[in-house]
Amino acid sequence: MSLSILIVDDSRVSRQIVKRALPPWESEIREASGGKACLKSYADQPADIVLLDLTMPEMDGFETLARLKALDPNARVIVITADIQPGSKERVMNLGAVALLHKPVNPEHLRAAMESCSS
């Protein structure tokens, strides 16, 4: 069964980097370039895993995460960000993310985080 993945980041290059780091599982990949697009895409069709950036203009990752969880409390969100301070991690976990990974994302860490989503 194919895994549906939603990659959310305002940078096209960044989305590409994440795509490249994904484990070679069968998956259907969607992209969104901002918080609003992410919520719309998820509302239309929920994804199994959301890979979310924090620093985005207009609606940042924190807000997007909160709204996503409000929309679907079971949403599985992995945050991938350049902001690697411990305070950010705490905040993100409190909002219900599964994990926080640092950019540039390590494929091993990404795989492990994605595996933990199914449990």
Stretch that binds other proteins, among 12-20, 40-48, 64-72, 92-100 (CB under 8 A): 12-20
- Which C-beta is closer to other proteins: that of 30 or that of 35? 35
CA–CA distance, 57 with 71 (Å, rounded to integer): 21
Contact 7, 15 (CB under 8 A): yes
106 binding other proteins? (CB under 8 A) = no
Contact 98, 113 (CB under 8 A): yes
48 binding other proteins? (CB under 8 A) = no
Residue 101 CA, chain-centre distance (Å), reads: 10
Instruction: Find residue 32's DSSP bridge partners.
Output: 8
Backbone angles phi, psi at 65, to 5 degrees: -60, -45
DSSP helix/strand/coil, 97: coil
107 binding other proteins? (CB under 8 A) = no
81 binding other proteins? (CB under 8 A) = yes
Kind of pairing between the strands at 77-81 and 27-32: unpaired
Which of 46, 69, 83, 111 touches other proteins by CB under 8 A? 83
20 binding other proteins? (CB under 8 A) = yes
64 binding other proteins? (CB under 8 A) = no
- Which C-beta is closer to other proteins: that of 57 or that of 73? 57
User: What is the contact surface with other proteins in residues (CB under 8 A)?
Assistant: 11-14, 16-17, 20, 55-57, 60, 81-85, 87, 103-104
